[in-house]
């Protein structure tokens, strides 16, 4: 049986094993997909042990997406550009890294009727997932992309790396910005359970708000977005399913149907 895994910390809550089991059932593929707890200090040895046990593919989540590339012999163009890896593919005796987060986000935005092309976008956060979706939004034709992060230097570094018109903004200056078309939360703030303080002036009646997280981790941001008057507020469960489908296709050469899997998770 082919062995796959998702690495991250914390990881016990991950829905990825359930998602990939559902995908595999669509094609009668037998696979062993499990969640493996690993932090930044333990990821390399954990991946090495997984490799020795016959691992042939893996997903990578917080806080490892920027570290994973260093363990790869080769990177896809999109992973190299954004400096983030969420999918590992075993090729011969080495790992190849790819990033499917951006594609997953764009597929889910389309599902919700949210357009990235010609949109004025505010991205909150500048970590591994933020970098992946920033490049995807730029490639999709975002008219303007503003990056805000608690650490201003990280926001500036991401804005400088993008080809599209991109600007870094200090968090406390967002109140002076006019309303955006799309606000994407890529911070990990929701995982702490604290209230999310949004720059309300940046959200108007035509603003779509999207959190890359889902479940409890997305509740604070979504509540703040609705209170600020956003026209729609979505969590990232659909993105999780869509990026998983892209990973599955890289491993198995077949793209699964995502709609029934997402419906089952929502149910």
Binding-site residue set for shikimate = 14-16, 61, 86, 101, 214, 243
Helix, strand, coil percentages for the chain (3-state, nearest 5): 40, 20, 35
* Cβ atoms 248, 256 nearer than 8 A: yes
* Cβ atoms 235, 218 nearer than 8 A: yes
Polymer length of the chain: 267
Q: Which residues are annotated as a binding site?
A: 14-16, 61, 77, 86, 101, 125-129, 149-154, 212, 214, 236, 243
- Which of the 8 DSSP states describes residue 58? E
Radius of gyration of the chain (CA): 18
With helix as H, strand as E and coil as C, how does 171-229 read?
A: HHHHHHCCCCCEEEECCCHHHHCCCCCCCHHHCCCCCEEEECCCCHHHHHHHHHHHHCC
Q: Which residues are annotated as a binding site for NADP(+)?
A: 77, 125-129, 149-154, 212, 236
Whether 188 is catalytic: no
Q: Cα–Cα distance between 179 and 203 in angstroms, integer?
A: 5
The helix-helix angle for 16-26 and 259-266 (nearest 10°) equals: 140
* Cβ atoms 214, 108 nearer than 8 A: no
Q: Cα–Cα distance between 187 and 172 in angstroms, integer?
A: 16
Q: Cα–Cα distance between 261 and 266 in angstroms, integer?
A: 9
Out of 20, 65, 131, 252, which one is annotated catalytic? 65
SS3 state at 29 = coil
> Active-site positions?
65
């Amino acid at each position: 049986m082919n062995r796959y895994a998702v690495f991250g910390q914390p990881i016990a809550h991950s829905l990825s094993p359930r998602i990939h089991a559902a995908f595999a059932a669509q094609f009668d593929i037998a696979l062993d997909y499990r969640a493996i707890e690993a932090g930044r200090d333990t990821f390399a040895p954990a991946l090495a042990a997984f490799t020795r046990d016959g691992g042939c593919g893996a997903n990578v989540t917080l806080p490892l997406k920027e570290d994973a590339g260093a363990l790869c012999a080769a990177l896809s163009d999109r992973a190299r550009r954004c400096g983030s890896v969420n999918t590992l593919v075993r090729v011969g005796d080495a790992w190849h890294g790819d990033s499917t987060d951006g594609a997953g986000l764009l597929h889910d935005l389309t599902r919700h009727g949210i357009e990235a092309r010609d949109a004025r976008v505010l991205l909150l956060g500048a970590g591994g997932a933020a970098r992946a979706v920033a490049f995807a939004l730029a490639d999709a034709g975002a008219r303007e992309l503003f990056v805000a992060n608690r650490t201003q230097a990280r926001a500036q570094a991401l804005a400088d790396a993008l080809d599209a018109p991109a600007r870094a903004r200090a968090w406390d200056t967002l109140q002076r910005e006019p309303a955006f078309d799309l606000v994407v939360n890529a911070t990990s703030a929701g995982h702490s359970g604290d209230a999310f303080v949004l720059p309300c002036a940046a959200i108007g009646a035509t603003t779509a708000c999207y959190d890359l997280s889902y479940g409890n981790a997305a509740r604070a941001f979504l509540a703040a977005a609705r209170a600020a008057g956003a026209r729609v507020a979505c969590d990232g469960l659909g993105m999780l399913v869509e990026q998983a489908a892209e990973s599955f296709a890289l491993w198995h050469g077949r793209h699964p149907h995502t709609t029934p899997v997402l419906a089952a998770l929502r149910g």
